[in-house]
Amino acid sequence: MLGDTLLDSSPTRESVLKGVHWLISLAVGIVGFLVGYFGLPLIETPELRVLITQSTIIGVIFLFYALILCYVYSDSKHNHLSTWPWMIIVLLLNLVGFLFYLFYSAAKTGDWKRATLPIAYIFEIIVIGVMVIVPLIYTDALPKAQLMTFLIAPPPPPPPPPPPVKAAPVIVHQVSMQELMKAPTVIPKTIAKVKDVPVQTANVGVVGGVAGGVPGGQMGGIMGGIIGGVMGGPPPPPPPPKAKTPVRIRVGGQVEAAKLIYNPTPEYPPLAKMARIQGTVRLEAIISKDGTIQDLKVLSGHPLLVKAALDAVKQWRYQPTLLNGEPVEVVTEIDVNFTLAG
């Protein structure tokens, strides 16, 4: 319909864009969509919705670009104008080149509708596109941030950091022994004399005291301090007693089973009963000095049976195990059997 109403170049209103032109432009638009769909992930990794939107925009641009070129090619052939120069101009200048061609062809043919009507429709398409895309962006139907990065050129990369400033080299002059042993070349005329100033000590003390503060003077005080520190000082405190580590022995499960005085039967888990699961759960237990279960570890067994075995064995009680007449802790293994009747 667009070719029949606008893009006509003869008084007979013969359509400039034929069916083959539309097929070529559609194929170019599909190629543009595929280029955007497979090429944009090489630059960045957008979301799938953003990638499809950007690829569709690229495909539409390729479609209209191909339609413009097909129109210029067909119309210039029909009006006997310079086809290839105008194809190159439109290829380089895009929409601006197409507008130049419309004015040129209208001036050559004397039909100014050829220029005014396409320009009006191009302007209407741009306005409608802006009216459709802008509300979609502001209502979050289209991703605003990523579309803006697609439509606006990214800023240039920051400049590289300046090279580090080189530190000034430190010149170290090594002095040899020969230079140290050389005699001075200039002898000073006067040499300052250094006078020894006697050190005056103030008489500090109390009336009736002794020198050094202890009987026997200063030497007596020093010797008394040394002898008192070596001979008369209090002895060092004894080290704290070490904590006794609990005695723990390992006994076989059958030996400890004989000392079992209270062993409630574990409840069969309903889920394991429905699944017809049976077997043995093996546990490692630490029996305290008073016969209670202190710690339990699972060695083997079906996961559906383990919890019931742990809950039951925690309530078991044993007779205390004696070693040299004293109760000790025992490490043993306990087997809990789960068997379905019938």
CATH 3.30.2420.10 domain extents, the chain: 248-338
Q: What is the pTM of this model?
A: 0.36
Pairing of strands 279-287, 260-262: unpaired
CATH number of 248-338: 3.30.2420.10
Residues pairing with 249 in the sheet = 330
For 281, 283, 295, the CA distances from 335, given in Å and listed in that order, are: 6, 6, 15
Give the residue from 305, 290, 296 showing the smallest Cα distance to 332. 296
CA atoms within 13 A on the CB side of 264: 11
Tokens of 66: 């191909």
Distance CA 220, CA 212 (A): 8
Long-range (24+ apart) CB contacts under 8 A made by 67-73 are 67/17, 67/21, 67/22, 67/25, 68/94, 68/95, 68/98, 70/17, 70/21, 70/24, 70/25, 71/7, 71/16, 71/17, 71/21, 71/98, 72/98, 72/101
Long-range (24+ apart) CB contacts under 8 A made by 116-123 are 117/6, 118/6, 118/7, 121/2, 121/6, 122/95
CA atoms within 13 A on the CB side of 341: 1
pLDDT of 259 reads: 77
Pair 313, 301: CB distance under 8 Å: no
By CB neighbour count within 10 A (0-12 exposed, 13-18 middle, 19+ buried), where does 298 fall? middle
- The neighbour count for residue 278, using CB atoms within 10 Å, is 14
pLDDT of 311 reads: 92
Pair 317, 330: CB distance under 8 Å: no
Give the residue from 262, 264, 6, 238 showing the smallest Cα distance to 117. 6
pLDDT of 10 reads: 43
Q: What is the dihedral of CA 97, 101, 103, 106, to 10 degrees?
A: -170
φ, ψ for residue 141, nearest 5 deg: -75, -30
For 22, 154, 255, 259, 328, the CA distances from 325, given in Å and listed in that order, are: 106, 87, 18, 16, 9
Residues whose CB falls within 8 Å of the CB of residue 262, separated by 6 or more in sequence, listed in order: 315, 316, 317
Mean pLDDT by 10 residues, the chain (342 residues): 44 69 90 89 79 86 87 84 85 83 82 73 76 63 52 67 77 63 64 60 52 51 51 66 68 67 88 88 88 88 90 89 83 88 70
pLDDT of 213 reads: 52
Pair 146, 50: CB distance under 8 Å: yes
Give the residue from 335, 330, 272, 257 showing the smallest Cα distance to 305. 272
pLDDT of 174 reads: 65
Distance CA 121, CA 3 (A): 12
